[in-house]
Structure formats: structure tokens, C-alpha cells
Amino acid sequence: MKKEVLSRAGRYREVHPEGSSAKDTSPLKVKEVLVDGRRYIVCLNEKQARKDAANRQAIIDSPQEKLKTNPKALVKDQL
């Protein structure tokens, strides 16, 4: 159901714009989606989505970089 709700087309409505300062509250966009007679409100915080994507990429890049520079550092001794 989650994929179906998130994949539905529709326009997001900005309810709180992205601020220019780090102290500003988070930006927020929402859209209403109807699936099988049920109403869903989908929220999008693009600033948080960018941060999450960067964090995921860092998790992927770290072991790949270690493989290039010192692959033995990724292997633990099993005694």
C-alpha cells in the first residue's frame, strides 16, 4: 500500500517554505492522495530528504573507500 500511495501523481502544496537560515523551521510540502476510498496525507521535507540521501551515500562510500586504501582493515580476525 505504501508504494501505491507514494507513487500516486499529484501536486504538493507548500505549507511552510524553506528558510534561508539553519535556525528556520523545516520546509514542508503536502499532498492529498485517495486510494481505495481512503485518504492519505503525504508530507515532504526536501531539506531532510537531501540530508538523508547524503547520509546514505556516506554509508555506502565509506567501506568502498576503505577497500581502495586498506582492504584488510575491513576484515576482523575470528579466533
How confident is the model at residue 78, as a pLDDT? Answer: 59
Residue 76 lies in a domain: no
Residues whose CB is less than 8 angstroms from the CB of residue 28 and which lie 6 or more positions away in sequence, other chains included: 14, 15, 16, 43, 44, 45
In a domain, 74, yes or no: no
pTM: 0.61
pLDDT score recorded for residue 7: 86
Instruction: Name the H helices within the chain.
Output: 2-7, 46-69
**The predicted structure's pLDDT at residue 17:** 81
Domain count, the chain: 1
Asked, for residue 25, whether it belongs to a domain, the answer is yes
* Spatial distance between the Cα atoms of 16 and 7, rounded to a whole number of angstroms: 23
Which domain covers residue 29, as residue numbers? 2-69
CB 67 within 8 A of CB 60: no
Q: Taking the chain (79 residues) in consecutive chunks of 10 residues, what is each chunk's mean pLDDT?
A: 87 84 81 94 92 94 85 72
Residues sharing a CB contact under 8 Å with residue 15, sequence separation 6 or more, in sequence order? 28, 29, 30
